């Protein structure tokens, strides 16, 4: 009995310690425990908020103010002569009706306002100019002091290592400039001579090749009739020393080389002389003959 009674009392105690169900609310539930992954887990002092005033947005734009006192003769508008010419005094006082007297008073008020306004504007103009000049001189003096001031110790200690030879940026005269100039001059002369010889060889080659050029319409017609004649390839037997009948261009120059022919030609060239080497030797002999004779040779 004692065991059952103690079990019932424990169950009643457990039931009474359960938390009550939270009532419905639209506010967000905030837990009192902060997890370790939260930025607020370690409480740090917050910095003071900056008192930055947001500038009021001004809609539209103001026109550029007119220069009342130009650079040339800026003090002309404060002279008595300028005021007398701009708003002259009446030659005779206006008397009579009240309207004429009122117009005279308004005109006098305008003259007085013009004189006082020009005076105040002139004072402001001088004040602004003086302030600008003082600021300009102060900025120049500050920049000059910073420019001629010695290097600070913190800059000297934290500056990267620079070789003393790199600090010397002076451009020194080249002691061998005469020799270098002469070498450059010689190279330019040799290059010009080479271009001259190349041009002369090109002209000579053009002169030699010009013997077979077609310059007239009759020669062109004759050459076309000769090449496109039905018996043209048959007449090439004696020229190319062929023993068989030539019917087309393949009979003159041979069929296009196949892969087997090219491989055979490569293997023969590795073993000994080849037509390619022979043509190269002939070209070399032609160049030697041209150097000896000083002219171009026709192939």
Q: Is residue 144 part of a domain?
A: yes
Q: Is residue 243 part of a domain?
A: yes
What confidence score (pLDDT) does residue 29 get?
Answer: 53
- The tokens for 151 are 């290097």
Angle at 123 between CA 122 and CA 124, to 5 degrees: 90
Q: Is residue 15 part of a domain?
A: no
Range of the structural domain that residue 146 is part of: 74-158
Q: Count CB atoms within 10 A of the CB of residue 296.
A: 19
Residues 254 and 280: their CA atoms lie apart, in Å, by 21
Alpha carbon of residue 242 to chain centroid: 68
Same domain for 239 and 200: no
Q: Is residue 284 part of a domain?
A: no
What confidence score (pLDDT) does residue 254 get?
Answer: 74
CB of 34 closer than 8 Å to CB of 40: yes
Residue ranges for the chain with pLDDT beneath 70: 1-31, 50, 237-245, 269-279, 298-299
Q: Per the structure, how many domains does the chain have?
A: 3
Q: Is residue 16 part of a domain?
A: no
Same domain for 81 and 149: yes
Q: Is residue 102 part of a domain?
A: yes
Same domain for 246 and 184: no
The single residue listed with the structure tokens 């009706």 is 97
Q: What is the pTM of this model?
A: 0.34
If we measure between CA atoms, which residue out of 62, 67, 85 comes closest to residue 121? Answer: 67
Q: Is residue 135 part of a domain?
A: yes
Q: Is residue 242 part of a domain?
A: yes
Report H helices in the chain: 2-17, 80-86, 98-148, 153-158, 164-167, 177-209, 217-227, 236-240, 249-253, 259-271, 275-293
What confidence score (pLDDT) does residue 14 get?
Answer: 45
């Amino acid at each position: 009995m004692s065991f059952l009674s103690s079990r019932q009392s424990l169950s009643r105690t457990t039931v009474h310690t359960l938390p009550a169900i939270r009532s419905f609310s639209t506010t967000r539930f905030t837990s009192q425990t902060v997890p370790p992954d939260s930025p607020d887990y370690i409480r740090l002092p917050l910095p003071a908020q900056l008192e930055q005033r947001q500038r009021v947005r001004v809609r539209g734009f103001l026109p550029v103010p007119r220069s009342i006192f130009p650079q040339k003769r800026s003090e002309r508008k404060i002279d008595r002569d300028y005021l007398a010419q701009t708003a002259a005094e009446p030659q005779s006082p206006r008397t009579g009706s009240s309207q004429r007297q009122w117009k005279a008073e308004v005109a006098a008020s305008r003259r007085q306002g013009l004189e006082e306004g020009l005076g105040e504007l002139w004072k402001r103009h001088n004040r602004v100019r003086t302030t600008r000049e003082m600021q300009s001189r102060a900025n120049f003096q500050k920049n000059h002091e910073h420019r001629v001031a010695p290097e600070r110790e913190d800059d000297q200690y934290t500056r990267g290592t620079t070789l003393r030879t790199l600090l010397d940026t002076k451009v020194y005269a080249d002691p061998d400039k005469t020799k270098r100039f002469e070498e450059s001059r010689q190279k330019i002369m040799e290059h010009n001579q080479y271009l001259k010889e190349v041009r002369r060889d090109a002209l000579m080659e053009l002169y030699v090749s010009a013997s077979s050029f077609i310059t007239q319409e009759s020669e062109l017609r004759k050459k076309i009739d000769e090449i496109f004649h039905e018996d043209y390839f048959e007449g090439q037997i004696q020229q190319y020393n062929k023993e068989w009948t030539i019917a087309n261009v393949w009979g003159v120059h041979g069929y296009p080389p196949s892969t087997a022919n090219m491989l055979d030609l490569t293997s023969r060239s590795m073993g000994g002389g080849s037509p390619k080497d022979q043509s190269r030797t002939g070209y070399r002999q032609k160049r030697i003959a041209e150097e000896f004779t000083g002219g171009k040779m026709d192939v």
